[in-house]
């Protein structure tokens, strides 16, 4: 299966710029749809979890729609999932935002308020991301053909703190260094917005489409 024939579903739980992500995926050649329907999400070759807003409300919405269990089910099947901004944070065990809430528990760790020092929050704008290698990877397929340092557009006040540094794929600095990209199994997460990050963001989404195509390809006998 090629990246141009892959179908990627943007998970619709009522929070986040879903249509912008859909349009960006179509721009890189994927067939994209926005849906909360379980059948459509199960049929897709890959999923994107978008998100803008507060962690506790987002988890509440996922649970109300039964999407929390569906996402875990798809990950157990090895289906690639990309979390964007709040969508990445939701993959962690918990967040301290608004008194705290439990997350999906895909990536061990906690989401905490960004330690920005004297810099104002939210952190809004372009910031250079330094990509790293972990678990013996020569390089993650998510960042193929991207330079080791590359600027992406960020909008956030909280940042993930993985329990295992081997899950870290990229970091940036805003007052202090924070994690802005992770990978664990078939889950990929980015704190920044690739759909707002020009050529580099489109390259990353194109890479994710290729990851989905490889995962969906039939195994040769």
Question: What does the H/E/C string look like for 126-172?
Answer: EEEEEECCCCCCCCCHHHCCCCCEEEEEEEECEEEEECCHHHEEEEE
pLDDT score recorded for residue 218:
79
pLDDT score recorded for residue 98:
96
Q: What pTM value is reported for the model?
A: 0.95
CA distances, 177 to each of 40, 154, 170, 188 (Å): 38, 14, 10, 20
Inside any domain, residue 221: no
CA distances, 208 to each of 121, 161, 189, 205 (Å): 30, 23, 11, 5
Domain span including residue 144: 7-216
pLDDT score recorded for residue 192:
98
Inside any domain, residue 89: yes
Inside any domain, residue 2: no
Q: What is the pLDDT of residues 87-125, one digit of tens each?
A: 999 999 999 999 999 999 999 999 999 999 999 999 999
Confidence category of residue 154, pLDDT binned at 50, 70, 90? very high
Q: What is the CATH number of the domain that holds 45?
A: 3.40.50.880
Average pLDDT rounded to a whole number, residues 128-149: 83
Inside any domain, residue 199: yes
Q: What is the pLDDT of residues 55-97, one digit of tens each?
A: 999 999 999 999 999 999 999 999 999 999 999 999 999 999 9
Inside any domain, residue 1: no
Burial string for 82-118 (b: 16+ CB within 10 Å, else e) reads: bbbbbbbbbbbbbbebeeebebbebbebbbbebebee
Inside any domain, residue 145: yes
Inside any domain, residue 193: yes
Question: Which H or E element spans position 76?
Answer: helix 67-76
Looking at the structure of the chain, the number of domains it has is 1
Which of the residues are catalytic?
A: 85, 193, 195
pLDDT score recorded for residue 136:
46
Inside any domain, residue 115: yes
């Amino acid at each position: 299966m090629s990246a141009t024939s892959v179908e990627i579903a943007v998970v619709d739980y009522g929070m986040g710029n879903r249509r912008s992500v859909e349009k960006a995926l179509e721009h890189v050649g994927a067939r994209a749809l926005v849906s909360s329907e379980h059948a459509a999400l199960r049929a897709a070759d890959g999923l994107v979890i978008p998100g803008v807003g507060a962690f506790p409300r987002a988890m509440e919405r996922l649970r109300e729609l039964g999407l929390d269990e569906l996402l875990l089910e798809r990950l157990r099947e090895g289906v690639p999932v990309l979390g964007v901004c709040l969508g990445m944070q939701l993959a962690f065990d918990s967040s301290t935002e608004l008194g705290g809430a439990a997350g999906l528990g895909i990536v061990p760790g906690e989401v905490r308020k960004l330690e920005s020092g004297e810099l104002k929050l939210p952190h809004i704008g372009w910031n250079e991301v330094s990509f790293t290698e972990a678990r013996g990877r020569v390089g993650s397929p998510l960042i193929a053909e991207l330079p080791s340092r590359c600027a992406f557009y960020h909008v956030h006040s909280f940042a993930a703190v993985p329990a295992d540094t081997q899950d870290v794929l990229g970091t940036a600095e805003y007052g202090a260094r924070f994690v802005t990209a992770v990978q664990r199994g078939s889950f990929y997460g980015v704190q920044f917005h690739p759909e707002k990050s020009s050529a580099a963001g489109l390259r990353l989404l194109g890479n994710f489409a290729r990851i989905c195509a490889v995962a969906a390809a039939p195994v040769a006998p």
